[in-house]
Copies of this chain bind each other. A is one copy, B any other.
Amino acid sequence: MAVYTEVSDEDLAGFIASYDLGALLSYKGIAEGVENTNYLVHTEKGPYFLTLFEKRVAAADLPFFLGLMEHLSKAGLTCPTPVHDAEGRVLRTLAGRPAALVTFLEGVWIRRPQARHCAAVGQAMARLHLAGQGFPLSRKNALGLSGWRPLFERFRARADEIAPGLAGTIEQELDHLEARWPSALPQGVIHADLFPDNVFFLGDALSGLIDFYFACNDALSYDIAVTLNAWCFESDHSFNITKGQALLKGYQSVRPISAEERDALPLLARGAALRFLLTRAHDWLHTSKDALVSPKDPVEYLRRLKFHRSIKAASEYGFEAQA
């Protein structure tokens, strides 16, 4: 949680004046978001969300992210949508950073998801996958299969500081996944980071999806694998099949999962667990002690990885018997 870039009242008032939103009423730096600086801005037209993109986000990717949010909103998905300034621009500069103002989405994220929340996120993810069709820009998954080994090499020498034998486990897992990773699964735009803090609810109703800054083109079923990892494990690291079932059923009520996608799921889930193990392990070893953001525990994803390795068939994730 952090505000990396301070914005002055004068700079922001000038910035807001270039939109058709009336005067600036207030703005507060938000203590969440690991990658970027966020402000909740009140103008005479209502609340908006201002993001200043920090160095970890590639400026070349911003048209993809902002264009995607606009495309998805127009396709009926509830997500933040960029506001156009008087000259029609959505990507601006503020306080020396690329910046965008997006609509503010009401909702809270669920700290302890239940099966009903998993069903709702499954449905919303499938809607996102359908809504993404026809989006003309594309972005490679920088944290997909081909990105994992280079990321591993950056901390390999120190990996065993996290858990004894971790370097060997990751090495073995990379070999396994690289030899078997499926390439013919249905592709499209995926969220790629659909964790509970990126899904808002109002009461029990899902009110929207946020944070598209990992979105990319990849296998749609890889997104399902990420989301199973993110939503269906308990705090004791055990897989909750009731939640898995709810998520998959919710998804399939909107977009049916093909036999190939289903059969690939255990492998995709291993890959997804490895992806978060790798980024967390990297950040764990590279975060300075006085960083504004505390790194997340990588071992959580080592445990999930081991669970997925034990899976013999996708039915163990909760797929209901096919008719």
Pick from B3, B32, B42, B105: contact of A47, CB under 8 Å: B42
Residues of B within 8 A of A2 (CB): 31
Contact with B along A1-26 (1 / 0, CB 8 A): 11100001110110000000001111
Chain B residue at minimal CB-CB distance from A291: B290
Chain B residue at minimal CB-CB distance from A38: B28
Question: In the bound complex, what is the Cα–Cα distance between A111 and B9 (angstroms)?
Answer: 7
Contact with B along A43-62 (1 / 0, CB 8 A): 00001000000000000000
Cβ of A297 to closest chain B Cβ, rounded Å: 16
- B23 and A203 contact, CB distance less than 8 A: yes
Residues of B within 8 A of A12 (CB): 108
Residues of B within 8 A of A31 (CB): 1-3, 28-31
Instruction: Known A31-B3, A31-B30; judge A25-B289 contact (CB<8 A).
Output: no
- A27 contacts partner chain B, Cβ-Cβ < 8 Å: yes
Residues of B within 8 A of A9 (CB): 108-111, 201
Chain B residue at minimal CB-CB distance from A108: B9
Pick from B10, B32, B201, B292: contact of A28, CB under 8 Å: B32
- A299 contacts partner chain B, Cβ-Cβ < 8 Å: no
Contact with B along A265-306 (1 / 0, CB 8 A): 000000000000000000000000110100000000000000
- B1 and A111 contact, CB distance less than 8 A: no
Cβ of A283 to closest chain B Cβ, rounded Å: 16
9 cross-chain pairs, A with B, having the tightest CB-CB distances, nearest first:
A29-B31, A25-B106, A31-B31, A3-B31, A9-B108, A8-B111, A26-B106, A290-B290, A28-B30
Q: A2-B31, A12-B108, A26-B200 are in contact. List 16 more A-B contacts (CB 8 A).
A: A1-B3, A1-B29, A1-B31, A9-B201, A23-B202, A26-B104, A26-B106, A27-B108, A28-B31, A28-B32, A28-B40, A29-B30, A29-B31, A30-B31, A42-B106, A292-B292
